[in-house]
Amino acid sequence: MSNLIRSEFRKLITTRTIYLFAIAIVIVAVLTVADPNQDAGTFSKPFHEQPFVFFTALLTRLLILVVGIRVMTDEVRHGTIVPTLLSAPSRTKVVAAKVIVVGATGLIMAVLAGAAMVVAATVVAKMYGATLVIGADGVRSLAGLALGGVLWAILGLGIGAIIRNQLIATVGGLVWLMTLENVIRGLMGDWAGYLPGQAGVALSVAPSGRTLALAAATLTVYTVVAVVGGALLLKGRDVA
């Protein structure tokens, strides 16, 4: 299993794509702080109510989801899934190794986003003569952002295993989060919080530990279902 994990990790870090995504996620996190309408009073709000926290969570989930999708679909697209499975006949172990690697990758990317956001917000706050305060709610928000990074990446992996076509999986995932879920949310009322996109964002803007736990449990359920479904389909499919 350790050899599989090392192999998956090596595949990831030897491509330029992952570094481009990392750069993009830092840029996005910094840009969320750039709001010409804010003033010193803006930074007096609790950390989890800051607009840049919401938008960082909203936008970085898209990039991290795509990273997870590509970890699986890149192999199918370029045919490297065949030698991967020949060298490790247990497809379940292959998926497990990918889950570990992609989860760690999502965590790193989310931490990068959080760090870039905090640094940028601190600088901007000082420009307005204010101080960015990160209290208990700020720690909770940053922890939620990190956990979201892990779950979004693994969810993307599951989607990529279910829908092997990279274009369809990527476009479908983005359209769901950016458009379809917003339409459905308007019809669900109070139940909208159980949609995956809403739960993912709630991880970073949760007003309490209980809300954070509920959001984490909700997104975890979607993630487990996607990964288990993808693993079962991979076991029964001909990948040659």
Tell me, yes or no, whether 189 lies in a domain: no
Tell me, yes or no, whether 187 lies in a domain: no
Tell me, yes or no, whether 191 lies in a domain: no
pLDDT for 159 equals 95
pLDDT for 240 equals 55
Tell me, yes or no, whether 190 lies in a domain: no
Contact 102, 15 (CB under 8 A): no
**C-alpha to C-alpha distance for 237 and 240, rounded to whole angstroms:** 9
* Domain, as residue range, for 213: 2-180+196-234
**C-alpha to C-alpha distance for 239 and 151, rounded to whole angstroms:** 26
Give the phi and the psi of residue 200 in degrees, each rounded to 5: -65, -45
**C-alpha to C-alpha distance for 114 and 220, rounded to whole angstroms:** 21
The pTM is what? 0.91
Return per-residue pLDDT of the chain as tens, 240 residues.
777 888 888 888 888 889 999 999 999 999 999 876 776 677 888 888 898 999 999 999 999 999 999 998 988 887 777 777 767 777 788 889 899 999 999 999 999 999 999 999 999 988 888 888 888 889 999 999 999 999 999 999 999 999 989 999 999 999 999 898 888 887 887 788 889 999 999 998 888 888 899 999 999 999 999 999 998 988 766 655
What are the residues whose beta carbons fall under 8 Å from the beta carbon of 96, sequence distance 6 or more?
1, 4
Contact 79, 166 (CB under 8 A): no
Tell me, yes or no, whether 188 lies in a domain: no
pLDDT for 86 equals 67
Tell me, yes or no, whether 58 lies in a domain: yes
Count of domains observed in the chain: 1
Residue entry with tokens 């379809």: 180
**C-alpha to C-alpha distance for 173 and 232, rounded to whole angstroms:** 20
